[in-house]
């Protein structure tokens, strides 16, 4: 298994994998154009895990100049519980850190027990003092 930078040309394979691992979290932002824009804005940060030439894990990583963010942390079911998720997250966070960012956030659905257990095990601290508020942007002419 190797971990390497996610490239724009990985999109089709990654999107297919997300149908299995990440379907609920997918949105318009995960269109081909959306992901290409994300990779351009955050060069070299997002990673894939590859086994026998096949993508079996992903992590999208980036920052806004102040805080790091991780999305779509996923490993194909048959490869889970072998530390691949940890390795992907570690590489992603090291890239964010290399840009001088000292804190990284993730969003995790409240009923995603696997995700919560994974992030807690990794060392993330669950915040009880913050709510996430979202706004559907609508000011475009």
Ligand X SMILES: CC(C)(COP(=O)(O)OP(=O)(O)OC[C@H]1O[C@@H](n2cnc3c(N)ncnc32)[C@H](O)[C@@H]1OP(=O)(O)O)[C@@H](O)C(=O)NCCC(=O)NCCS
Chain positions contacting ligand X, by CB under 6 A: 21-22, 73-75, 80-86, 106, 108, 112, 114-115, 117-118, 121
Sheet holding 54-63, edge to edge: 2-5, 47-51, 54-63, 68-75, 104-106
- CB atoms under 10 Å from CB of 42, counted, come to 20
Q: Residue 96 CB, nearest distance to ligand X (Å)?
A: 16
Q: Measured from the CB atom, is 65 or 89 closer to ligand X?
A: 89
Residue whose Cβ sits closest to ligand X = 85
Pick between residue 43 and residue 83 the one whose CB is nearest to ligand X.
83
Residue number, 38 or 118, with CB nearest to ligand X? 118
Minimum separation from the CB atom of position 6 to ligand X (A): 15
Q: Which of 78, 17, 84, 16 is nearest to 49 (CA)?
A: 84
Closest contact distance (angstroms) between CB of 24 and ligand X is 9
Of 62 and 115, which CB lies nearer to ligand X in the complex structure? Answer: 115
Torsion angle (degrees, nearest 10) of CA 106, 22, 56, 11? -90
Least distance between ligand X and beta carbon 139 (Å): 30
Residue 35 vs 73, nearer CB to ligand X: 73
Least distance to ligand X from the beta carbon of 69, Å? Answer: 12
């Amino acid at each position: 298994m190797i971990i390497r930078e996610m490239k724009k040309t990985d999109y089709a394979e990654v999107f297919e994998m997300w149908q299995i691992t990440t379907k609920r979290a997918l949105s318009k932002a995960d269109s081909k154009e959306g992901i290409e824009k994300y990779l351009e804005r955050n060069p070299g940060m997002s990673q894939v895990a590859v086994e026998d030439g096949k993508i079996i894990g992903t992590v999208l990583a980036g920052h806004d100049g102040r805080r790091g963010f991780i999305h779509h942390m996923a490993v194909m079911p048959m490869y889970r519980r072998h530390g691949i998720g940890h390795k992907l997250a570690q590489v992603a966070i090291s890239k964010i850190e290399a840009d001088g960012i000292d804190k990284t956030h993730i969003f995790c659905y409240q009923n995603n027990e696997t995700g919560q257990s994974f992030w807690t095990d990794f060392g993330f601290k669950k915040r009880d003092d913050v709510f996430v508020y979202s706004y559907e942007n609508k000011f475009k002419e």
